Each structure stands twice: as structure tokens, then as C-alpha cells.
Chains A and B, each alone.
Chain A
């Protein structure tokens, strides 16, 4: 028990995490770059056009992974916030804070690409489609989290208050998604262009998986870089910073 906690605190200490994040970043960044470049080439050039949607479907290679990541990052953020709240781990709070902006941007990317896809498919940029609507609400959740952080001057209080908000949000998120689906099924006639995937051929699916893994690794790399910046900012009074910065 005692040794576990020593290990836990040593592992979670800002200098250790700072160094570890620095070492790990290229291990995520390079595979991410390779996978994203191959995935984009395979998806945008090699994959055959869709028999129904033509070339327009190719935006899925950016859209679907962004949408998936935007939700996953919220879960990561809430998990980090929960760890920070329960074990009073400063680094976990820093990680949660670093997640928010990345998640918000992925949400924006998924919204914008969804709108661009909607123009040729639906004939309009915006349709109150359940997925788009749920993403919009998710964006508001991220914005609320960021605004709450920005609104509190005391760092410790900002950490814990935003952690409570992230946890409330993560409980509410599935309910919001479900309610929006339900709302849409009542108010909208089934749209002509439903994105149901009747077993994608492998040359379409493979680039999608590449992009999904690639962008997830990209998220991890950016998170580590932002985490280092966040730690530097938080620990700017600490003596170990001098050794690192020289």
C-alpha cells in the first residue's frame, strides 16, 4: 500500500510527467503524421468514389474521425478531471485543462465538414440532423467548460469547479444524444441521404481506420505538448523549472 502511493505520487509529480511527456511526444507524433498522410492519400485519391454520393463522400475521412474524437476527448477530459478531483492530482487537472481546446476544435471540424458534406447532399449547409445538433450541443458544453475555467482566477478552484462540470457533462452527454435522436425521429421525415453504412468495401474502410488511428495519435501528441506547456505555466515558481529551462 505504502509503496503504491509513493509510486503514484512520484509518477504524478509535475517534473516526472513533464519529462515523460517530452520523451513520448515523438512516439505519437511520427506515427500520426505517417498514418494521416497515407490515410488521406488512400482516402482522397485511391479509394473509389461512392456509387451514391460520388466524390462528396470523401469528406468522411476527416469528418467521421473528428466527430468520434470530439466525443472521446470529452470522456478523456472527464476521466482526467475525475482523477484530479478524487486523488487531488495536479497533473490530472492540467491534463483535463489541456484537453478542452483540442476537443472543442475537433467538434468545430466535425461541424464544418458536416455542413460542407450537407451542401451537395441535402442542398443546404445546415439541417437539424440529430448528429449535427448533438455536436452543436457538445460544442456548447466545451465552451462552457472553457468559459468556467477562464472565469475563475484561483487556479485550484478553477481546476476543481471545472472538474465537477466535466463530470456532470459526461453523465448528461449520453442523455443529450439520446434525446436529440428521439426528437429528430419525431420531427423529421427520414432523410433521403442516410449515412447508414451497408458494409463498406475494404479500400474505403482501410483509409478511414488509418485516419481514425492517426488522428487519435495526433490528439495524444498535441495533448502531451499542451500538457507540458500547462505544467510549465503552473510550476513557473518551482525550482525544477530552472534546471529544465537552464
Chain B
């Protein structure tokens, strides 16, 4: 295997192994997502008909905030113990290694959040027929969010109160993800074709995948100096 792929796979494997050793960190965003969603019936109305109308917004804002919560720690420990410096010195493309880290982050937060969304959807009165659409749109959307968040996490590396700043930087950039994602979810709930917004989401994901690791690499390098 070419060393460049071997290095990428090693990073991926390391991240997944670390998460396996501390599963509580994977569970935290999921619990957060569930609690936030449960607050809406309590704060608004328990009527499923009304909840169904706001379900796309609730699911997307909840997933966005939950994945932001997990992003704060994306680079922190690796920056503190010098792992990121080793990455930078390894001779492999830094952006690719950070891309692998981002992918691992998505596998550990974005994907579980996506898989959890249908269950929360049921609690909001979403019909079962809408679930494949919700899964597809959240999978794409959370991936884009992870990519955007990696840039934000790199920029706020090692800052005091970095978490609040991270949200302030990332949330405005996430507007298109929310717009297209919530629309796709809405169409899925209404039982209509959601391919339009889904393609737009896919376009965003591809664009993010192309540019975000480069920006994240630049940001992390600045933070390491």
C-alpha cells in the first residue's frame, strides 16, 4: 500500500480505537441531542400534529448543536500532547491526515446522530416512510458540518473560551447546510421527492471535502506555532 494511504488509515484506526476506549465521549452528544429534542414537546406542545410541522427544524438544530459540542475537543488533546506536531512533521500531507481525523469524528458523532434521528423523529410524530430521507439528508449534512467544524476547531485551537467562539465562527457558515437539510427533511415528512435539496447537500459536501481539509490544515498549522 502507498504510504500516504497507510498513514491515513492509521490515523483513522487510532481515532476509532481511542473512542472505543472512552465510549462515554461518543454517547455524550447523543444524549444531548435526545434531551434537546425532548424539551420541545415540553416547551411547545405535546400534540404530534404540531410537532411534526416543526420536526425538521428541531432535528437539524439539535443535530447541529450536538455535533458542535463534540467538535470542541477535536484537536485539543492532540495539540496538547504533541500528536498534531508529529502529524505535521511526518512528511505526509497534513490536510489528508486532518481529513482522516475529521472522517473519524464524523463516524463517531455525525453518523450516530444520524442513526438516532429517526427515533427522535418518531417522538415528534414523523411518519416511518420519511425515515430513509431523513437518514440520507442528515448523513450528508452532518458530514459537511464536521468539515466546517474542523476549520473552526483549528482556528480556535488553544484559545480561552474557545467553545463559544467556535460556535460563533461555525454557525453562520452552517446556514446553507441547515437550509437544504431542513428542506429535504420537510419534503421527506410530506412524502414528496427530496432529491433536489439532497443533491444540493451533496454538492456542499463535495465542496467541503475539497476545500475544508486544506483550510483546517492551514488553521491548525497557525495554531501550532
Contact = CB atoms under 8 A, between A and B. Distances in A.
B165 A164 contact: no
B166 to A, nearest CB: 10
A186 B183 contact: yes
A165 B218 CA distance: 10
Contact of A137 (B172, B200, B225): B172
A144 interface: yes
B219 interface: yes
Contact of A140 (B156, B161, B168, B218): B168
Q: What is the predominant secondary structure among interface residues of chain B facing chain A? A: helix
A148 B165 contact: yes
B175 A176 contact: yes
Chain A interface helix/strand/loop/mixed: helix
B225 A157 contact: yes
A37 interface: no
A158 to B, nearest CB: 9
Contacts of A168: 151, 173, 215
B176 A176 contact: yes
A160 interface: yes
| Chain B residues touching A, range | 20 to 34
Nearest to A146: B168
Contact of A169 (B160, B168, B171, B173): B173
A184 to B, nearest CB: 10
B201 to A, nearest CB: 10
B33 to A, nearest CB: 23
B120 interface: no
A143 B168 contact: yes
A175 interface: yes
B135 interface: no
A150 to B, nearest CB: 9
Nearest to A162: B155
B4 interface: no
Interface string B198-225: 0010001001000100010011001101
B159 interface: yes
Contacts of B183: 183, 186
Interface of B: 151, 155-156, 159-162, 165, 168-169, 171-173, 175-176, 179-180, 183, 200, 204, 207, 211, 215, 218-219, 222-223, 225
Given A152-B159, A175-B204, A183-B183, 6 more contacts: A148-B156, A151-B159, A156-B225, A161-B223, A164-B155, A168-B173
Listed from nearest, the 4 A-B pairs whose CB atoms lie closest are A179-B176, A140-B172, A179-B179, A144-B169
13 contacts: A137-B172, A137-B175, A140-B168, A141-B173, A144-B172, A148-B165, A151-B156, A151-B159, A151-B160, A151-B162, A161-B222, A168-B151, A176-B172
